[in-house]
Structure formats: structure tokens, C-alpha cells
Amino acid sequence: MILRRNFFALAALTGLMAIKPLRPGYAAASPPTLKPHRLSPGSAVGIISPAGATFRREELDIVVDAVRGLGLVPRLAPHVLDRYGYLAGQDRDRAADINQFFADPEIAALLPIRGDWGSSRVLPYLDYSQIRQNPKIIVGFSDITALLLGIYAKTGLITFHGPHGLTAWRPDQVEPFRQILFAGEALTFANSVVAEDRDRLMPVRNRIQTITPGQAQGRLIGGNLSVIAGVVGSPYLPDLDGAILFLEDVGESIYRIDRMLTQLKLAGVFDQLSGFIFGQCVSCGPDEDYGSLTLEEVLYDHIAPLGIPAWMGAAIGHVEPILTLPIGLSVAIDAAPGTIRMLEVAVI
């Protein structure tokens, strides 16, 4: 006990006890923000498979055609068609493809074929020093959330929650993709009126439901809820102090959404947010069990007590068109109309 008392006395004198511990739930403060270079016609795009396997060569051919349709040049990763069970090859090989493309000065962007599962498994094998020294565009959604957040957390590089190779690439998706990543424009995102509602007096689909009205500014961070819950407590979830958090998911029971939001809450992830957005949760209806909560009830339970601007129903998630949202960029939100406004360009 004498030794312990002496230690604490010495620590108090030297300031050791004043060291602030890292907050649980996510990484320490993010590195300085780094923006990738914009795309130009003829830029080379590295096609990668960081997660689920591609079982049909035709799907890769479709992605190659999409890249060419954008006026870009496709380059295939060495392991793009590898398979290891449901994964697109071994973890180290999938990570090696990403490292190789970031190191290649001819590659301007990285585009995954698909999501599925597996991006979190490659995070320990990425060369983050090399990525920071060679900033490039990397875009995707769903399971690719882990890759986008991990790279941003470790390097400060702005990444993009947007289309992967096998999305539809219709004009309403291609145009904002071009505006942000080619033209370097700062856009405002809002739900559009769907075709089925254009002759109605009021919109029925794609509606915004405000949880707490108000306006806020902060870094835009987010993606798939299941994936984010899976990296809580690791160095691959960015510091969310002052951030605007957006979440989406697909095919999850309401009780699982509740469980994952509870996990984020208990980990302190919600504590310092400036704003909150919940997008679409496709095929996430209530269970058949008697007395199930609704998605609306679960979100109000967790988010309304925060007292921050928040809404649900944003056109973000496993829906078309896939928006191109810059991860780590400063944005302004308004929870009444449900708008996200970029405060700066995302590429240089």
C-alpha cells in the first residue's frame, strides 16, 4: 500500500494522472483531412473484390462495361476473381490488391464489384501510410462501409459512400457521381419525388420523418449499421465527436436493429453527435411475434433523447439511385426538409 500511495502521489505531481483516456467505441481523433484528386475522362479505375466473391465472370464483365461507360479505363486487380468460400480470396490477397492500386500512380480510383461480407477482415493488412501518401478515390456501400471508415479513420482520406460496380448506373445515379467526383461540385442531397407520386397531391413514398427538428454542421460519417456495429471498439471507427452520423441497413429484424443501436449507445457512439440521419432499411419489417416494436419506435427511443437534429427516411441505403456521399467531409443538415448540404468540394 505504501508503494501504491507513493506511485499515485508521484503521478499527481508529474501529471500522469491527468492523461485523458481514449473514449470507448471508436478511434482517437482522426488525422488531418486529405482529399483525393478528381476523375478525368480516361482515368484508370482499379476494380477490386474486398468482400464477397464473384461467382460469374459475366458480373465482372458488367462492371468493366460500366467503368467504360463512365469514360474511364478499367484495370482488374490480380485477385479480383479469387474465391475462398463466400469471400473473394484470402484476406491478405484482397488487401494486397488494394495496397497495389493505391501505390500505382496510374490508378485514380478504386471500385469494388460488390459488398456482401469481408471488408472488415482486410483492415489489419492495409498499408495506411502508403494510402495517405497516395490519396485516391475509393467508393462503395453496404459491407464496403468498413473499408471506407477504416481508411478515413487511419489516414484522414475522404472516402465515398456510393455505387459499387454492380449497381444500376442509371442517369439519376451517374449524374451526381460525375458532379462530385469529376466536376468537383458541392451538392445538396434531398429525397426526390418518385414517379409513382408525381400525380398525387402529397408524396407517399420517399417521405422524410423528422425526429427532432433543427440544423447542424459536422463531418459526415456513416454507412451500414450492421458493419458499423461490428467495428465498434476498434481503431477503424472514426472519432464521431461533432459528427453527423447516417445509418442504413437491409434484411434485418427490428429487434436486431434495436440491439445494434443499443450497442452503439452503450459504446458512447451517440454521445457527442451533432446530428443523426437514418436512411432506408429495406426488408426490415416487424417480426411476426406478438408485440414487436416498429422501426419508428426503436429510432425514437434511441435518438429523440439526444436532442440533436435528426430524421429518418433519407434515400440512403440499398435503394436506387445510390447517392455518392463524401465520408469525412463537412456538411450542413436541416432535419425538417431532410437535406444534406456539402460545405466544400470533396476532391481537388
User: Mean pLDDT, 10 residues at a time, over the chain (348 residues)?
Assistant: 44 40 56 97 98 98 98 98 98 98 98 98 98 98 98 98 97 98 98 86 90 98 98 97 98 95 98 97 78 92 98 96 98 98 98
149, 181, 213 - which closes a domain: 181
CATH number for the domain spanning 216: value is 3.50.30.60
Task: For residues 241 and 207, state if they share a domain.
Answer: yes
pTM of the model: 0.91
Establish if 334 belongs to a structural domain.
yes
d(Cα 27, Cα 35) in Å, to the nearest integer? 20
Does 155 lie in the same domain as 70?
Answer: yes
Residue 248 annotated as catalytic: yes
Res 241: pLDDT:
97
Query: How many angstroms separate the CA atoms of 234 and 28, rounded?
Result: 10
CA distances from 241 to 25, 60, 223 (A): 11, 39, 17
Question: What's the confidence (pLDDT) of residue 205?
Answer: 85
Dihedral pair phi/psi, residue 54, rounded to 5°: -100, 115
* Cβ(335)–Cβ(310) below 8 Å: yes
Q: Are 76 and 65 in contact (CB under 8 A)?
A: no
Co-location of 325 and 193 in the same domain? yes
**172 and 259 housed in the same domain:** no
List, as one string, the DSSP characters of 100-136.
Answer: HHHH-TTEEEEEES--SS-HHHHGGG--HHHHHHS--
Using the CB atoms, write b or e for 273-296: b if 16+ within 10 Å.
Answer: bbbbbbbbbeebeeeeeeeebebe
What is residue 292's predicted lDDT score, i.e. its pLDDT?
86
Name the catalytic one among 49, 79, 248, 252: 248
Q: How far apart are CA 259 and CA 242, in angstroms?
A: 24
Question: Taking the alpha carbons of 10, 13, 16, 21 in that order, is the dihedral positive or negative?
Answer: positive
* Residue at 16 is within a domain: no
Cell numbers for 151 = 481508411
Query: Residue 57 is part of which domain span?
Result: 44-181
**DSSP-derived secondary structure letter, 292:** P
Q: What is the reported pLDDT for 197? A: 82
199 and 338, same structural domain? yes
Report DSSP state, residue 183: S
326 with 231, same domain: the answer is: yes
Task: Name the domain count of the chain.
Answer: 2
**Pick from 317, 254, 314, 309: which is nearest to 278 by CA?**
314
Please tell me whether residues 48 and 114 are part of one structural domain. Answer: yes
Residue finishing a domain among 128, 149, 181: 181
336 and 201 in a common domain = yes
DSSP state of 43: -
- Among 161, 164, 302, 318, the one annotated catalytic: 318
Residue 95 has a pLDDT of 98
> Do 138 and 94 lie in a common domain?
yes
Q: Residue 285 has what pLDDT? A: 81
Q: Which of 142, 161, 226, 302 is catalytic?
A: 142
- Residue 17 included in any domain: no
Supply the CATH number for residue 109's domain: 3.40.50.10740
Answer yes or no: do 54 and 132 share one domain: yes
Residues 127 and 170 in one domain: yes
Question: Is there a catalytic annotation at residue 318?
Answer: yes
Is 105 within a domain? yes
199 and 322: one domain?
yes
Q: What pLDDT score was predicted for residue 12?
A: 44
Q: Is 194 left (phi over 0), alpha (psi -120 to 50) or beta?
A: beta
Q: Tell me which of 181, 209, 242 is where a domain ends.
A: 181
Q: What's the distance, CA 286 to chain centroid? A: 25
Q: How far apart are CA 144 and CA 158, in angstroms?
A: 14
In the residue annotation, 226 being an active-site residue is answered as: no
